[in-house]
């Protein structure tokens, strides 16, 4: 018996039909509008849209039989090369729909993976995307036999490190193991870099936001970072960190991270954990919002949900309403983020209110960082180790009853050493 293979193929421009189940809890219009943008970003063209009202998608065929026949007619009418489903399809649904429709069947996750594959530039980004692709595709594409030719991944799919992938099951498992080991090394390097950074006492700000909110444009405007910034989804994937001088002359580290999106595939969150975990060590989060987008409030909710999943929603957050040059409304009355320490409006492109933004950062840092003096008994080695690992140590002196530290700490660490505090500034 011949060995089954996973074949990922590069195709010409895909002409696809979007499909979605209209359930009571889904805003199908909003989702399909975003899915069309994702398809365009990945290089495809949407030729039609088909939806069906359902309590829940059919576990075998997604749509019911009659609607599948209608979809088959549309595929023939438009000479479509594939369909893209707004929901993540199970292997069973993929196999059944592919056989019935006799065309390439894709879902939202596949399209996002395609975009990430096209956008990844660094070796780290490529490794993370390839791992996500292999983990996702290996459970769905193996064992389709002749259907594999119709199941070659998503739109213009490519592996970041290889134009065409042809791997049997064993090679897939081996490659996944290699990538996991590579990413583990990346995490180790990041940990070492973080420890060095903490010891310098530099404050770290990380930007978060929905994809295409303008994070890279803001980073460029503030630091001359020269990061690619385009009006497309996921223009940049790789984390960029730059030094930034504030009005107080304090120098901080300012980091851009990958943009979020609704239904962000779990495989991507897993694969990009080495990058996204940087958010857990940031002192302050800058939440950039594209206030010109009619759906910006639901995008804000998606960002907070993602931060909660990453266990980063307890950080001090500055919400920045970006792209105010594109709207006529009074932004100050348009939206106030109650979960943020403050909300302000800017235009990164037109460089409007950037001075106020920098002053706000200074103010928030002053409120979250504190100079503290502690005396820790020698028998509390755990606290001494904690201070040495996480605090900026200005002075350290061994005295009769313990170690005397003068340190700069954030609020969390200040609370953990509270019983040993002998003075604050």
CATH of the domain at 415: 3.30.70
Q: Which of 151, 171, 191 is the last residue before a domain boundary?
A: 171
Specify whether the CB–CB gap between 168 and 4 falls below 8 A. Answer: yes
CA distance 235 to 227: 10
pLDDT at 165 > cutoff 80:
no
Q: Are residues 376 and 344 in the same domain?
A: no
Query: Torsion-angle region of residue 363: left (phi > 0), alpha (psi -120 to 50) or beta?
Result: alpha
**Helix (H, G, I), strand (E, B), or coil: what is residue 341?**
coil
Q: Are residues 138 and 217 in the same domain?
A: no
What mean pLDDT comes out for the span 398-421?
A: 88
Residues 6+ apart with CB under 8 A from 176: 131, 134, 135, 138
Query: Using one digit for the tens of pLDDT, what is the confidence trace for 103-150?
Result: 999 999 889 888 888 877 778 888 888 888 888 877 765 433 333 334
Q: What is the pLDDT of residue 202?
A: 77
CA distance 194 to 390: 10
Q: Are residues 29 and 149 in the same domain?
A: yes
CA distance 406 to 395: 5
What mean pLDDT comes out for the span 207-225?
A: 88
Q: Are residues 109 and 142 in the same domain?
A: yes
Q: Are residues 93 and 125 in the same domain?
A: yes
pLDDT at 323 > cutoff 90:
yes
Q: Are residues 49 and 102 in the same domain?
A: yes
Specify whether the CB–CB gap between 206 and 258 falls below 8 A. Answer: no
For residue 137, how far is the Cα from the chain centroid?
20
Global confidence as pTM: 0.77
Q: What is the pLDDT of residue 233?
A: 64
Q: Are residues 18 and 167 in the same domain?
A: yes
For residues 386, 407, 311, 360, the Cα torsion angle rounded to the nearest 10 degrees is -170
**194 belongs to a structural domain:** no
Query: Using one digit for the tens of pLDDT, what is the confidence trace for 12-57?
Result: 678 999 999 998 877 888 899 999 999 998 889 999 999 999 999 9
**183 belongs to a structural domain:** no
Confidence of residue 251 (pLDDT cuts 50, 70, 90): confident
**344 belongs to a structural domain:** yes
- C-alpha R_g of the chain: 25
**Which residue range forms the structural domain that includes residue 287?**
202-352
Q: Which of 128, 148, 171 is the last residue before a domain boundary?
A: 171
**358 belongs to a structural domain:** no
pLDDT at 152 > cutoff 50:
no
**Strand extents, DSSP E, 246-340:** 251-256, 284-290, 317-322
CA distance 260 to 262: 7
Measured over all CA atoms, what is the biggest interatomic distance in the chain, rounded to whole angstroms? Answer: 87
10 Å CB burial of residue 168 (0-12, 13-18, 19+) is middle
CATH number of the domain encompassing residue 101: 3.40.50.11060
Q: Are residues 215 and 92 in the same domain?
A: no
**187 belongs to a structural domain:** no
pLDDT at 336 > cutoff 90:
no
- Percentage of the chain modeled with pLDDT above 90: 39
Q: Are residues 128 and 209 in the same domain?
A: no
């Amino acid at each position: 018996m011949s060995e089954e293979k996973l074949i990922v193929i590069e195709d010409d421009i895909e002409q696809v039909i979007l499909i979605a189940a209209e359930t009571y809890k889904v805003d199908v219009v909003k989702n399909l509008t975003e899915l069309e943008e994702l398809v365009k970003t990945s290089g495809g063209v949407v030729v039609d849209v088909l939806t069906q009202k359902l309590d829940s998608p059919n576990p075998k065929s997604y749509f019911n039989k009659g609607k599948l026949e209608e979809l088959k007619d549309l595929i023939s009418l438009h000479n479509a090369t594939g369909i893209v489903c707004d929901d993540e399809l199970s292997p069973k649904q993929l196999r059944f729909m592919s056989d019935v429709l006799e065309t390439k069947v894709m879902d939202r996750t596949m399209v996002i993976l395609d975009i990430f594959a096209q956008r990844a530039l660094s070796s780290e980004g490529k490794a993370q995307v390839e791992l996500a692709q292999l983990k996702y595709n290996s459970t769905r594409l193996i064992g389709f036999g002749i259907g594999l030719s119709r199941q070659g991944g998503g739109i213009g799919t490519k592996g970041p490190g290889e134009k065409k992938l042809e791997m049997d099951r064993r090679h897939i498992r081996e490659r996944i193991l290699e990538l996991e080991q590579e990413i583990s090394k990346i995490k180790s390097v990041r940990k070492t870099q973080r420890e060095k950074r903490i010891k310098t006492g530099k404050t770290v700000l990380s930007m978060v936001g929905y994809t295409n909110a303008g994070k890279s444009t803001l980073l460029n405007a503030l630091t001359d970072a020269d990061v690619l910034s385009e009006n497309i989804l996921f223009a940049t994937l790789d984390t960029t960190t730059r030094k930034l001088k504030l009005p107080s002359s304090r120098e901080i580290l300012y980091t851009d991270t990958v943009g979020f999106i609704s239904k962000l595939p779990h495989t991507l969150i897993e694969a990009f954990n080495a990058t996204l975990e940087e958010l857990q060590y940031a002192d302050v989060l800058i939440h950039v919002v594209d206030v010109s987008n009619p759906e910006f409030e639901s995008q804000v909710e998606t960002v907070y949900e993602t931060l909660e999943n990453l266990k980063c929603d307890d950080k001090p957050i500055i919400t920045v309403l970006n792209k105010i040059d594109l709207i006529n409304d009074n932004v100050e009355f348009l939206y106030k983020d109650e979960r943020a320490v403050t909300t302000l409006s800017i235009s990164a492109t037109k460089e409007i209110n950037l001075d106020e933004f920098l002053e706000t950062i200074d103010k928030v840092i002053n409120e979250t960082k504190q100079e503290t003096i502690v005396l820790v008994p020698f028998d509390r080695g755990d606290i001494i180790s904690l201070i040495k690992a996480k605090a900026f140590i200005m002075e350290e002196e061994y005295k009769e009853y313990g170690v005397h530290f003068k340190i700069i700490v954030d609020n969390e660490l200040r609370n953990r050493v509270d019983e040993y505090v002998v003075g604050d500034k």
